[in-house]
Structures are given as C-alpha cells and as structure tokens.
Amino acid sequence: MSGQSDGSAPATSHTGRIIYLVLSGLVENGALDQKLVVDDFGSLTLKAARSAGLKLDRPAAGKISSYMLGQKLLDVQKLSDGKSAVAVTLNGWRRVQKYRLQHLQIDTPKHWDGRWRFVLFDIPEEKRAARNALAGRLKKLGLWQCQRSCWAYPFECAEQVMAIARPYHIDQYITYLVAEHTNIELRLHQAFRGLLAGR
C-alpha cells in the first residue's frame, strides 16, 4: 500500500507530535521488528491524536497518514480480510529517536538530595562534531559547564546524557559521577540558584 504525498507535512501545529505518537505507539507494540496487524490503518493517526487530547479531524488525519507513507516512515500492506499489516521502517525509527532527543527533559523533584551530578568526557579530536553536539545538548538541558569537558547538574540526568551520546557513538567516552562534596560548591549553588530555590 502506498500513499500520495507532496513531501511536506500537513499544516497543523501538532503534526510532529502526532507522527511521533503513531510511530512510537507502533514500536511499543512490536511493529519495529515485525509487522503488526491492525483493523483500520486509517484510524491509527486519529486515535493517537485523540489519546493525547489533540483535536484532529479525519481529513487532517488522512493527510498525516499519507505524509508518513510518502516519507517512508511506515510500511503498510493491505490484507485480504480488510485489515492492514503495519511496520515502522528504519526512517520511522530514526524519526522517533530524533523526536525523543529534541524533547528530552530532566525531572526536577520537589526536594533536592544535596548531591551533584557531573558529566565528564574525553572525546577524540576526530569526533569533534559529536563532542560539540553533545556539549550543545547538555547546555540546552540546563547543565552548567564547570570546565571545558566537565558539566554539572543537581538532579539525576544519566539517562538523558546517555540518550544524547549513543546516537553519536560516544557514550564510551563519558564518565558520570555523583558527589556529595566538591570544592566548587559555592559556584554550583550560584549557577543553579534559580533551579534550587525552595528545594
């Protein structure tokens, strides 16, 4: 089954999120390694949007479905009984990973445990682009740069850091430390005074 698409995403404010919801939902149900049989492929996009509380009518849902097919994010085969066999393609999986990276967040508990998290790395020069990408992502997440290759944060963030590093294949160059005491305590408190206020 193939969809017609002009290569551009439908003009809705939540299109990216809806595409992510459809693809990630299929992946979670095993449609990455094998095809998943669904009763109505056309309703997947509509259901995904509504489950997230997003308003979407059938014509708009149809356009998003066609876009996903046109971009080869999904492989859909119509079966003789009227059902569809659906699988997320490699392109689709990459889209899921990209969305997750772009929307990474670090949980900030109500109470701080008084410990500091440090991310240290010694990444080879030939991987400079990956190193710069990592640093940019850490800054975007709110980590503070203590030294050239050392970043700090007051809350647990190992999972998010490694999620950034893995696609660049640089996770083996990263060290994650948790410390209760450090000689830059005052500087850390100053750097995170807004985030730690009231905690």
Q: Rounded to whole angstroms, how far apart are CA atoms 191 and 48?
A: 40
Q: Contact, 151 vs 119, CB < 8 A?
A: yes
pTM: 0.70
Q: Taking the mean position of all CA atoms in its chain, how far away is CA 125? A: 27
User: Could you tell me the fold of the domain covering 116-196?
Assistant: Alpha-Beta Plaits (3.30.70)
pLDDT confidence bin for 186, thresholds 50/70/90: very high
4: confidence class by pLDDT, cuts 50, 70, 90: very low
Residue 143 has pLDDT above 70, yes or no: yes
Same CATH topology for 15-102 and 116-196: the answer is: no
- Thinking of the domain 15-102, which architecture would CATH place it in? Orthogonal Bundle (1.10)
How is the chain split into domains, by residue range?
15-102, 116-196
Contact 123, 170 (CB under 8 A): yes
CA angle 39, 64, 8 (to 5 degrees): 150
Burial of 96 (0-12, 13-18, 19+ CB in 10 A): buried
Q: Average pLDDT for residues 193-199, to the nearest whole number?
A: 90
Averaged pLDDT of the chain:
91
Mean pLDDT value across residues 80-100: 92
User: Which of 150, 139, 138 minimizes the C-alpha distance to 184?
Assistant: 150
On the question of pLDDT at 13 being above 80, the answer is no
The secondary structure element, H or E, covering residue 103 is none
Q: pLDDT band at 119, cuts 50/70/90?
A: very high
For residue 5, the model assigns a pLDDT of 45
